């Protein structure tokens, strides 16, 4: 933490307790104490200050404490931190420090997912309005045609919402790469269902500048410094 202090919501998020937005709600509900007194929105935390939430001392991580992992999620693993959930991702990875996923992949999908203890970057990556790219390999149950590609690229009506335009790169008559800038629940499967196709394989291979590469199923790696530098540059545009 720098000597000129840090905003309280960012301090709480950097401790991995919750997102900045959730921190603001806790502050507004008078659940956050700064040096023993009820904190206000916009408060600056200075070195030596103590922050508590409902009796729990909150300690923000330094840059050396922050963890950023890329994980190749196998099918069947559930993206939840709930310890009661069978096959949950946190128990599967068994990392020695507290981490959480940035976004999710559904149980039947596989591929790249990021994990961290840095709550300050969560919303920057997952919010739809930030238009962050995610790339997938998709395989369908039967050959698709040009009309399918055009519909996917223009956007598809699912439930009461039209999806954003996508980028499609055919790989075979049943397989293609897809770039999304949204993250609706089971979006790709629902888009294909709406057009009369069923997804039989779905793998995420890229989140922004972070790629899956040759990372083996069920394995994780730390993000490199060049990857982190480029990621933060994209997030701060």
Torsions phi, psi for 82 (to 5 deg): -70, 115
**Active centre residues (catalytic):** 106
Give buried/exposed letters for 147-178 (b at 16+ CB in 10 A, else e): ebeebbeeebebeeeebeebebeeeeebebeb
Choose among 14, 2, 5, 17: nearest CA to 42. Answer: 5
The vertex-98 CA angle with 97 and 100, nearest 5°, equals: 130
Three-class DSSP labels, 103-155: CCCCCCCEEEEEEECCHHHHHHHHCHHHCCCEEEEEEECCCCCHHHHHHHHHC
């Amino acid at each position: 933490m720098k000597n000129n202090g840090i905003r309280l919501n960012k301090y709480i998020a950097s401790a991995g307790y919750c997102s900045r937005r959730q921190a603001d709600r806790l502050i507004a509900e008078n659940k956050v104490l700064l040096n023993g007194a009820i904190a206000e929105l916009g408060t600056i935390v200075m070195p030596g200050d103590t922050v508590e939430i409902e009796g729990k001392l909150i300690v923000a991580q330094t840059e050396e404490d922050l963890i950023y992992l890329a994980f190749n999620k196998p099918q069947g693993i559930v993206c939840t931190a709930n310890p009661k959930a069978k096959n949950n991702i946190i128990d599967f990875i068994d990392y020695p420090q507290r981490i959480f996923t940035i976004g999710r992949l559904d149980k039947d999908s596989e591929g790249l997912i990021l994990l961290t203890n840095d709550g300050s970057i969560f919303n920057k990556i997952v919010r739809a309005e930030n238009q962050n790219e995610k790339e997938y390999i998709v395989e369908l149950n039967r050959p698709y045609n040009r009309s399918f590609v055009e519909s996917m690229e223009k956007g598809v009506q699912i439930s009461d919402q039209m999806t954003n335009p996508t980028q499609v790169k055919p790989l075979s008559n049943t397989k293609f790469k897809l770039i999304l800038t949204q993250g609706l629940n089971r979006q790709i499967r629902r888009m294909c269902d709406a057009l009369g196709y069923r997804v039989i394989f779905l793998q995420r291979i890229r989140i922004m500048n972070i790629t899956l590469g040759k990372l083996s199923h069920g394995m994780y790696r730390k993000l490199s410094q060049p990857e982190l530098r480029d990621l933060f540059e994209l997030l701060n545009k």
